[in-house]
Amino acid sequence: MGIISRALAAALLIATAVTPAAAAAQDETFSPDWDAMSGALRERRFADLLRLADEAIAHSPPLEDSEGRRVLCAHSDVEAVLYAALPDPDGQGTIVRNAAPCNLLFYRAYALEELGRRAQAMELMGSLTRYAPFWPQYHAEYGYVLAQSGRPEEALAQYRQVIDALELLADEIDKEHWSAVAQRGIGYALIDLKRWDEAEAAYRKSLDHDPDNAVAQHELEFIARERPRD
């Protein structure tokens, strides 16, 4: 799914193992075969990954509530507390589940993108940013798909959401990694928009967090070649 997303895939193998204590009790008996899905992802067997994800989703706790309550996914106790404290504009209440149902959708979206079904992948990724609005991984992946679909302004907004999320979850995640991912994504979108100086600044910021990243260094060389001379 591209250079940025290879790092996201590796991070997901860790993220799926995290379960917040505050999750709904009915989630506790739901145990998908994460090892099989992780293996399919590592071995790039995306049709198998899609099949495994779909089989698990069929038995997953629902992300829609029959009583109209908002359903959110939390990857940690801190994230669960943040979601429980969010304003409830409809007054129907909020259910905070653990991360499993959302991570299954993430696997499904990842497989769909790799299988060339981008429109479906994009729709799923967009929904995940609503189910877990503070989880940086979902915003970063959605930003990637938007950028690859020629929608750089929307991609920028998603990568900036990653940076915002880091302020809330700084002790829960690898802040250096996700800061670098976000700045590289911002730089990529800004290149598409021909905003060369801002793109250069974003890639240089990414190197503050990931100094040896070859992608950022290559993109800085590209900017130096392509930026119009006064």
Q: What whole-number distance in Å separates Cα of residue 114 and Cα of residue 12?
A: 16
Residue 125 pLDDT greater than 60, yes or no: yes
User: How many structural domains compose the chain?
Assistant: 1
Range of the domain at 211: 3-226
CATH number, domain containing residue 187: 1.25.40.10
Q: What's the pLDDT band for 50 if we cut at 50, 70, 90?
A: very high
Residue 71 pLDDT greater than 60, yes or no: yes
* Cβ atoms of residues 112 and 50 within 8 Å: yes
Residue 16 pLDDT greater than 60, yes or no: no
User: pLDDT, tens digit, for every residue of 178-212?
Assistant: 999 999 999 999 999 999 999 999 999 999 999 99
State the Cα angle at 14 between 50 and 47, rounded to 5°. Answer: 15
Beta-carbon contacts of 47 under 8 Å, excluding residues fewer than 6 positions away, are: 111, 115
* Cβ atoms of residues 178 and 148 within 8 Å: no
**Of 68, 69, 59, nearest in space to 26 by CA:** 59
Which pLDDT score is estimated for 201?
A: 98
pLDDT, the chain, mean? 87
* Residue 9: alpha-carbon gap to chain centroid: 10
Q: What whole-number distance in Å separates Cα of residue 79 and Cα of residue 20?
A: 8
